[in-house]
């Protein structure tokens, strides 16, 4: 039986609530819809505001025209995005979009002051002061202003305009870039005016870390999109495409040679993202369907990922300053948004050998904080400890001895990674891995059919099969490739959240995923389960008469039973002997198992009522020693489903069993 992973759930704690789990459990396909401002940017800002765009740090992104989006590509990447680590989990290891990509692809400054300020100002007065005009009521929504209004009122700049008017025009232009390109919200028609006070002094605006704010906003959108119920995604998806096309050339459209046709107008070249502005639209990527993208990621090999795509490119000095901060292990802030930049997990993208990283930062309720109803909060005070961490970034730079090297499957890092990652996303690609594909191809060849290229095809498949077998044999090599020592960074304690649902992070804001209606992937193998009597319902964990074939001694009922799931009645726990419990403790370590506790009103042995289990009980029991009051059997540290009002709540715990 194929186990998609992870074997060790201590890293990917949100797996039961992740989109990859929904795919594995047979739920309907989901393709994310994009939220973006519909007006096209031609990449040619008015000449009179170029000086102020450079001063504020927005010149590079102003030179990038909008590009077409590939919904299947983004949806497939989201399936491998992990909110726990802020990285994509691929077969070859973790990789992610970093501050380096923001600086080089978009040309935004990453060093400087975090983009955090007050949100309780009078926004009409702010518009009148810094834009020169007050928006009408119908074009304002709370602290947001319509992008269409900005487009209509700041589209033409008079030749004889004063310097004050030019600056007002530049601020409106930057707001359109923020709301329509860099930090698009889910309305895709408005931009927050909370950015406007930071643009009051355009010469000083460059001191803010706009690049880290854009990355924080994008991280939040990617994390939210891993929720199977999420239907759309916003943020700077242009950066996602640029990053993916550079790191995975097999999915990129044909790139045409680019020469800036506007060198006579602009003395500073555009950032690297401009290379994709003139890509060929007639030749589409090799795969255009999301399922094909997904299977390609599942079966991707080491030579199909480019860890350092920028090292051979010519980069203008304007975009290549403060490159050390790109490796800083720091919080990413954008007003209410708090995410974490963890380059220590992707050091191969910076040319260093990859160590086993430290545990990721658990953002808890801060991971789901929204701005709604919080306009009176002073975010400078609320996030002061994280601002201090950001300002101290020089002491939080990831440094590793040793340059990047290809990591074999038996290397120390890959052994650790394979135990903690979600290896497979799609069941089809999991059941038709590389070795299996080549074996089937060779089998078809020997059946005998006329083909002039039979010999060449046979050679090609045999070589590929031998390479695949070599990869397996490589894992048996006793000489292990050791990982370098990792750095340890201190992490501040997260602020305490409220009791309202959704304020304690994704663990509380999402429900666990159950198998789709009518979905069945088969029972667990006998040799890895528990021994039991299939006909004895009263004890030894026998199956009921309605069960399908036994799963290691447990009854797996109905076609909706998820893979590796067993139903255990609490009364059977009560009748268990000490020898049986000892055997379960030793055997459960060999098989990941989800235990569904069926709470009974009256225990057979104790003859007493079992109290109901509420969602708060399951949340409080997470990671603790839990005692089943109906049978006095304690279990901890195993994924346990507690049915409550027909809506199961998940409580991830490990298995320790004891009986008085």
Both tokens of 482, joined, read: 């050791």
Does 139 have pLDDT greater than 60?
yes
- Higher-pLDDT residue of 520, 621: 520
CA distance 629 to 158: 78
**Which DSSP string corresponds to 491-548?**
-PPPPP--SSTTTT-HHHHSPPP-PPTT----PPPGGGS----TT-SSSTTPPPTTEE
- What value does the mean pLDDT of the chain take? 74
Q: State residue 200's pLDDT score.
A: 96
Share of the chain above pLDDT 90, in %: 43
E-strand stretches of 175-291: 190-192, 232-233
Residue 479 confidence class, pLDDT cut points 50, 70, 90: low
Q: State residue 332's pLDDT score.
A: 97
Within 10 A of 377 (CB to CB), how many other CB atoms are there? 17
Give, to the nearest 10 degrees, the angle between helix 71-78 and helix 290-298. 40
Does 308 have pLDDT greater than 90?
yes
Both tokens of 274, joined, read: 């401009």
pLDDT digits (tens, 9 = 90+) for 264-298: 778 889 999 988 876 654 444 444 578 888 888 98
pLDDT digits (tens, 9 = 90+) for 331-390: 999 999 999 999 999 999 999 999 999 999 988 888 889 988 888 888 999 999 999 999
Question: What mean pLDDT is predicted for residues 526-548?
Answer: 30
Of 596, 594, 28, 510, nearest to 223 (Cα)?
Answer: 510
Residues 6+ apart with CB under 8 A from 99: 110, 211, 212, 215, 325, 326, 328, 341, 343
Q: State residue 376's pLDDT score.
A: 84
Share of the chain above pLDDT 70, in %: 63
Question: What mean pLDDT is predicted for residues 426-454?
Answer: 59
Question: What mean pLDDT is predicted for residues 125-135?
Answer: 96
Question: What mean pLDDT is predicted for residues 140-160?
Answer: 92
Three-class SS of 109-163: CCCCECECCECCCCHHHHHHHHCCCCCCHHHEECCEEEHHHHHHHCCCCCCCCCH
pLDDT digits (tens, 9 = 90+) for 207-235: 999 999 999 999 999 999 999 999 999 99
CA distance 492 to 329: 12
pLDDT digits (tens, 9 = 90+) for 550-589: 223 333 233 333 333 333 434 444 455 566 655 555 544 4
Three-class SS of 419-442: HHCCCCCCHHHHHCCHHHHHHHHH
CA distance 540 to 559: 23
Q: State residue 489's pLDDT score.
A: 75
Does 652 have pLDDT greater than 80?
no
Mean pLDDT: which of 45-49, 211-215, 409-413, 496-500 is highest? 211-215
- Higher-pLDDT residue of 650, 146: 146
- Higher-pLDDT residue of 373, 54: 54
CB 370, CB 185: distance < 8 Å: no
Q: State residue 405's pLDDT score.
A: 79
Does 420 have pLDDT greater than 60?
yes
Mean pLDDT: which of 95-104, 150-159, 352-361, 419-428 is highest? 95-104
Q: State residue 598's pLDDT score.
A: 34
Question: What mean pLDDT is predicted for residues 82-90?
Answer: 97
Q: State residue 95's pLDDT score.
A: 97
Question: What mean pLDDT is predicted for residues 508-514?
Answer: 67
Does 603 have pLDDT greater than 90?
no
């Amino acid at each position: 039986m194929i186990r998609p992973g992870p074997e060790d759930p201590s890293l990917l704690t949100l797996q039961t609530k992740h989109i990859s789990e929904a795919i594995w459990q047979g739920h309907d396909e989901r393709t994310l819809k994009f939220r973006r401002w519909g007006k096209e940017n031609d990449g040619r800002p008015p000449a009179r505001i170029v000086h102020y765009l450079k001063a504020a740090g927005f010149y590079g992104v102003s030179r990038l025209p909008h590009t077409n989006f590939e919904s299947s590509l983004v949806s497939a990447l989201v399936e491998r995005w992990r909110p726990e680590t802020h990285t994509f989990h691929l077969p070859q290891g973790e990789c992610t979009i970093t501050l380096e990509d923001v600086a080089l692809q978009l040309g935004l400054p990453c060093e400087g002051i975090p983009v955090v300020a007050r949100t309780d100002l009078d926004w009409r007065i702010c518009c009148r002061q810094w834009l020169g005009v007050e928006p009408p009521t119908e074009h304002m929504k709370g602290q947001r202003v319509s992008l269409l209004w900005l487009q209509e009122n700041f589209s033409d700049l008079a030749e004889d305009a004063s310097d004050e008017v030019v600056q007002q025009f530049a601020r409106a232009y930057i707001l359109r870039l923020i709301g329509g390109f860099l930090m698009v919200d889910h309305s895709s028609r408005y931009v927050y005016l909370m950015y406007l006070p930071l643009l009051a002094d355009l010469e000083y605006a460059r001191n803010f870390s706009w690049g880290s704010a854009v990355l924080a906003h994008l991280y939040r959108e990617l994390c939210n999109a891993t929720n199977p119920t999420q239907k759309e995604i916003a943020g700077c998806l242009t950066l996602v495409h640029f990053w993916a096309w550079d790191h995975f050339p097999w999915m990129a459209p044909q790139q045409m040679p680019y020469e800036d046709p506007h060198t006579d107008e602009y003395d500073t070249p555009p950032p690297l993202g401009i290379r994709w502005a003139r890509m060929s639209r007639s030749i589409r990527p090799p795969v255009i369907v999301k399922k094909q993208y997904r299977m390609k990621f599942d079966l991707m090999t080491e030579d199909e990922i480019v860890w350092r795509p920028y090292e051979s490119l010519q980069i203008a000095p304007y975009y290549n300053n403060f490159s050390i901060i790109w490796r800083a292990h720091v919080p990413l802030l954008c007003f209410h948004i708090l995410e974490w930049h963890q380059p220590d997990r992707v050091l191969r993208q910076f040319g260093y050998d990859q160590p086993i990283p430290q545990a990721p930062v658990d953002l808890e309720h801060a991971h789901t904080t929204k701005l709604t109803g919080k306009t009176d909060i002073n975010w400078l005070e609320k996030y002061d400890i994280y601002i201090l961490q950001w300002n101290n970034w020089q002491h939080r730079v990831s440094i590793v001895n040793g340059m990047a090297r290809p990591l074999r499957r038996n290397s120390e890092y890959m052994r650790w990674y394979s135990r903690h990652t979600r290896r497979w996303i799609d069941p089809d690609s999991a059941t038709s891995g590389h070795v299996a594909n080549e074996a089937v191809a060779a089998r078809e060849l020997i059946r005998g059919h006329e083909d002039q290229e039979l010999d060449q095809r046979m050679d090609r498949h045999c070589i590929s099969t031998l390479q695949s077998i070599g990869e397996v044999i490589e894992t048996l090599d006793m000489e292990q490739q050791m990982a370098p020592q990792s750095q340890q960074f201190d992490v501040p304690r997260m602020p305490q959240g409220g009791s309202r649902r959704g304020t304690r992070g994704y663990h509380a804001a999402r429900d666990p995923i159950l198998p789709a209606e009518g979905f069945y992937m088969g029972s667990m193998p006998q040799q890895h389960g528990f021994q039991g009597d299939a006909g004895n319902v009263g004890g030894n964990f026998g199956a009921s008469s309605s069960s399908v074939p036994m799963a290691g001694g447990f009854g797996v009922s109905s076609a909706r039973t998820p893979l590796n799931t067993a139903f255990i009645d609490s009364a059977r726990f009560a009748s268990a002997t000490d020898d049986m419990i000892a055997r379960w403790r030793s055997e459960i370590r060999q098989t990941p198992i989800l235990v569904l506790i069926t709470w009974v009103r009256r225990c057979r042995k104790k003859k007493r009522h079992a109290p109901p289990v509420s969602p708060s009980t399951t949340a409080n029991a997470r990671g603790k020693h839990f005692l089943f009051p109906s049978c006095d059997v304690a279990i901890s540290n195993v994924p346990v489903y507690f049915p409550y009002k027909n809506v199961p709540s998940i409580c991830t715990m490990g298995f320790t069993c004891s009986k008085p």
